[in-house]
Structure 1
Amino acid sequence: MNTAELLIQCLENEGVQYVFGLPGEENLHILEAIRKSRIQFVTTRHEQGAAFMADVYGRLTGKAGVCLSTLGPGATNLMTGVADANLDGAPLVAITGQVGTDRMHIESHQYLDLVAMFATVTKWNVRLVRPSIVTEVVRKGFKIAQKEKPGAVHIDLPENIAAMEAKGKPLKRDKKEKNYASYESLNEAAAAISHAKNPLILVGNGAIRSDASSAVTELATRLNIPVANTFMGKGAIPYTHPLALWSVGLQDRDYISCGFDRTDLVIAIGYDLIEYGPKKWNPDGTIPIVHIGATPAEIDSSYIPTVEVVGDISDSLTEILRRCDRQGKPDPYAIGLRSEIRSDYEEYINDESFPIKPQKLIYDLRQVMGPDDITISDVGAHKMWIARHYHCDRPNTCLISNGFAAMGFSIPGAIAAKLVYPERKVVAATGDGGFMMNCQELETALRMGTPFVTLIFNDGGYGLIEWKQKHQFGDASFVHFGNPDFVKMAESMGLKGYRIEKTSDLVPILEEALVQEVPAVIDCPIDYRENLFLSEKAQNIHCQT
């Protein structure tokens, strides 16, 4: 066999089901090896879409998603999705074709030093310079990609190496061993929690990656501690739980900010600083923090834990609970905050004004989606509203990119979600800006038989930037554009197309679209005047001390 065939055998050994990508001259041997394997190659319409699909596959399964491109422009197109996975903590392995090693010392067609290029957006990356190292490189790559904190790995395969004869067999996968926190740190954390008067739990994506949501919920329930989640920590505790204070992370102050103002201890569980900077909730660095995570705390002047509990999160929470003698009740003010947050959430339930307000749209979407169904948010103004108002019973049912936060994420991500969970309803929630960045992947969705709904928040511009411009300067510039007829566009691709023409249409159209056998697109005009109203409301939030 040749090197490419051995590479694909190694991918099969790692349990790879799909490789997302585009064909190219320099990856022909890899494609031929995939054709002869058990792996399904998903031909995408853009390399960025391939990387986003691998990204979301990794988030939902915990196993590295794999994407493939050719050299040069194929690899540069792939890079955005690779960076997104790396900063958002999603395991991903990217493979690129490359010129032969005999052409790297001279100026060559489409040649870039891809190892140097991918160095800044991966945990590890390497060029395969001889056939004999393939098995070690693949095993190491998957191990690094999937190790906490997960991220991206890049493997570069020159075409002459791919064609060379190779010997060897895939290396045995090692068992994932749990790491346990020290008794000293567990005792110190339990003591700090037991003595705190108004503790507050801040839970992030690390708790979801570690499958620790049940342990988080039990700790909060038995110790009577309110819980706020980051955008990427949704579902770590059911939103219906009486101690759930829902999402924190808006750049403006929000009701939950008052909880941080009053707390005398933040218990940060699986919290990644990249999700919501600590300077937003601990600007002076004065709030004591207990850090509970699979990895040590990142360095930040506003995030200096008094105790670090580093190890398996579920085990750590169970052990802390055993050691705690906390008898206190939650701060009545924090529980009152929940009532204010819920009232704000329900304010627009019966609002029939049109264009539809984002609060109403998201409330209705939540009513249509079941507890296991998946909403994937693109990036834009709608992301802020989804983060604030779309609440989850279970982990990984609302995916938001809030590390790299790349536009164009939702449609490719929805394809991957539907491949992983074909029985679930999936909605790609996107602005019209983000939609036009990767709408070509709807053809991929149709071809792959992955029906989901793309819900377009249509405002004819880059709404989030307009929001920030008006908030900061009082006016907006360079943010408006025209759109095609999204319904006709969908129909021309063999999809179902719908347009919301009055607010009462939304629920029945969503229900109809979600049972179609082909992907569906819903064009929904949105009233983004609510953006500035939210900013004004945030400025007028006054907290009790």
Structure 2
Amino acid sequence: MTTNSAASALVETMINYDIKYVFGIPGAKIDKLFEELEYNQSPNKPQLIIARHEQNAAFMAAAVGRLTGKPGVVLVTSGPGVANLATGLVTATSEGDPVIALGGQVQRDDLARLTHQSIPNQELLNPVTKYSVEVQDPDNLSEAFANAYQEALAAKNGAVFISIPQDVIDANVKREVMVKSPLVEQGVPAKDQLKSFVQEIKQAQMPVILAGMRASQQKATRALRTLLHDVALPIVETFQGAGVLSRDLENLFFGRVGLFRNQTGDTLLKQADLVITVGYDPIEYEARNWNKERQSKIIHLDSVVPELTQEYQPELILQGDIGDTLLALREILKGDYALSTSTKEHLLAIKKEFDDKDVPPTTQSNQGLHPLTIVNELQQHVSDQMVVTVDVGSHYIWMARHFRSYEPRHLLFSNGMQTLGVALPWAIAASLLDPKRKVVSVAGDGGFMFSSQELETAVRLHSNLVQLVWVDGYYDMVRFQEQSKYGQEAGVKFGPIDFVKFAESFGARGLRVDEQHDLSTILDEAFAISGPVVVEIPVDYSQNFKLNQNLLTDQFN
């Protein structure tokens, strides 16, 4: 490869920015960059991971972003290659996952012509990204990547896109490549704001923390735990806030909230006279659901300025570095604050009721296993350090409500877009980052088929993962809501698949829970196998009608 090509300059820039993986699918308009990634002689070049669909490649890059806090990179060709990025990028942007997407484009002379694979890349992906640009000069390419990296990590994290015309990536460059610049750090809010915050907490009878997606960033989680060891406040997680509390703070955990307003956490938020949102994003669980009546005060602590609505008008906004702000509050509050005895007694009663909900039924139907039985058994097989990725479907609700996680960003949900098909690509990326540790992917038989072709990728990479498929033959998350709204269902039934044979056709192992093989034994076997394993589990969703019942009386409609 030539050392002064735009392709080599871009790869050198990626090396300077410590990019470890590039996920993608090649094509003629961008193949020069694939050649450079494959044959560049640098030992520090990114590893090229070829996926089976561009959307899944974007999911893999997003998982790297969520798990490491550094942007994952996805690389695709022009036309449909770029178009297929849209769902992956809007998911990453809405859910705060830093991603840099690179897309091929026709040569500049063809941009205004109706030619093969000529589409307006920049304009197409602008609505689903934080930053979208088309590079018109090869000497700007390294700069474009540096700015994209910076923007992907700026609050709120998200996806950025760079469109690269074919004659740009094929050209030579004259400028030196960019070196990595330090990220812009946020500070701590003014002392007067911190003083007001402390006064509000001390005046409240039952303050409650609502921990959102940005509370699960490593620095923020460490600081939140440090604060809670000295200032014991009850905490409710959003789905993406899962794992912010460690095991030794379990007594402060009152569940997760999202989707339907009928959980213990919802009750606590309604009873609170002060809600402290930490790293909360409204796309996770709109304030119109948990704060419609505005009976409590709200303090907003985040790196992002909040979106204000009728239902979300904080009395105090503290914008800055979440971790540093929490530690500053701890210094003020430690040894000088405690909940009242009556509040503690009230919380103990709520906590017992919450914990009792995790107990699975003692009897099972012949249609399949109760969801709580599957969740409980999986809990016994998963260590705190394992990553568990969860697809979207009815199983997602059961997992979000009942599966305990004690490390941030180790229980992954698509909570903003609720995108089907994320779990397997996320698990593949997680296995790349920590190949010695088992990764678990949980999906329904509907969502699994959205990205199941990546089983070949998992086999090729020898991904150390266990894929659970909850089988019932329906898009059940839609089904039970249709039944509750209309008394009937429509468009939710699909045909059967033998997932054991399906897995084996890709070279993976396939296992099935049935009358002869109980769940515990099958999971023991699955977790002992090296490489990808698919476990088919029949599930009985006959109790799902309860998931959106018993809503609090002020539920938004």
1:314 matched to which residue of 2?
A: 323
Q: Is the 8 A contact 1:353 1:503 kept in 2?
A: no
SS at 2:514 equivalent = coil
Distance 2:273 2:518 in 1: 47
1:334 matched to which residue of 2?
A: 347
1:4 correspondence with 2:7? yes
1:422 CA displacement: 1.3
Quickly say closer, same or farther: Cα 1:261–1:540, change in 2 above 3 A.
closer
Q: Is the 8 A contact 2:92 2:98 kept in 1?
A: yes
2:372 matched to which residue of 1?
A: 359
Q: Is the 8 A contact 2:62 2:99 kept in 1?
A: yes
Distance 2:139 2:311 in 1: 48
1:26 correspondence with 2:29? yes
Q: Is the 8 A contact 1:92 1:145 kept in 2?
A: yes
Distance 2:548 2:141 in 1: 54
Quickly say closer, same or farther: Cα 1:503–1:48, change in 2 above 3 A.
farther
1:188 matched to which residue of 2?
A: 196
Query: Residues 377-415 of structure 1, C-alpha deviation per residue, up to 9 Å, x if partnerless?
Result: 001111111110111111111000101221010111110
Q: Which amino acid aligns with 1:475?
A: Q
Q: Which amino acid aligns with 1:399?
A: L
Q: Name whichever of 311-320 and 193-202 sits farther off.
A: 311-320
Distance 1:341 1:328 in 2: 20
SS at 1:423 equivalent = coil
Q: Is the 8 A contact 1:411 1:454 kept in 2?
A: yes
Indicate which of 149, 162, 172 corresponds to 1:165: 172
Indicate which of 102, 120, 124 corresponds to 2:127: 120
1:384 correspondence with 2:397? yes
1:275 correspondence with 2:288? no
2:100 matched to which residue of 1?
A: 93
Superposed, 1:222-237 pairs within 5 Å as: 222-237=230-245
Query: Residues 97-139 of structure 1, C-alpha deviation per residue, up to 9 Å, x if partnerless?
Result: 0100001111111211010000001000111100121121111
Q: Is the 8 A contact 1:471 1:532 kept in 2?
A: yes
1:296 matched to which residue of 2?
A: 305
SS at 1:220 equivalent = helix
1:142 CA displacement: 0.3
Q: Percent identity?
A: 33
1:108 correspondence with 2:115? yes
Q: Name whichever of 306-315 and 197-206 sits farther off.
A: 306-315
Quickly say closer, same or farther: Cα 1:65–1:432, change in 2 above 3 A.
same
1:510 CA displacement: 1.3
Q: Is the 8 A contact 2:227 2:326 kept in 1?
A: yes
2:72 matched to which residue of 1?
A: 65
1:284 correspondence with 2:293? yes
Q: Which amino acid aligns with 1:300?
A: T
Indicate which of 524, 540, 543 corresponds to 1:530: 543
SS at 1:460 equivalent = coil
Q: Which amino acid aligns with 2:531?
A: V
1:480 matched to which residue of 2?
A: 493
Quickly say closer, same or farther: Cα 1:130–1:198, change in 2 above 3 A.
same
1:400 correspondence with 2:413? yes
Query: Residues 321-348 of structure 1, C-alpha deviation per residue, up to 9 Å, x if partnerless?
Result: 2223323334432321111111011243
Distance 2:21 2:547 in 1: 42
1:212 matched to which residue of 2?
A: 220
CA RMSD of aligned residues (A): 1.7
TM-score (norm 1): 0.96
1:210 CA displacement: 5.0
Distance 1:327 1:78 in 2: 49
1:423 correspondence with 2:426? no
Query: Residues 53-100 of structure 1, C-alpha deviation per residue, up to 9 Å, x if partnerless?
Result: 001011000110000111111111122111111111000000000100
1:253 matched to which residue of 2?
A: 262
Distance 1:123 1:533 in 2: 38
Q: Is the 8 A contact 1:433 1:461 kept in 2?
A: yes
Unaligned runs of 5+ in 2: none
SS at 2:219 equivalent = coil
Q: Which amino acid aligns with 2:478?
A: I
Q: Is the 8 A contact 1:198 1:263 kept in 2?
A: yes
1:541 CA displacement: 9.7
Distance 2:39 2:170 in 1: 15
Distance 1:259 1:210 in 2: 26
1:539 CA displacement: 4.5
Q: Is the 8 A contact 1:358 1:530 kept in 2?
A: no
Distance 2:197 2:551 in 1: 35
Distance 1:539 1:212 in 2: 32
Unaligned runs of 5+ in 1: none
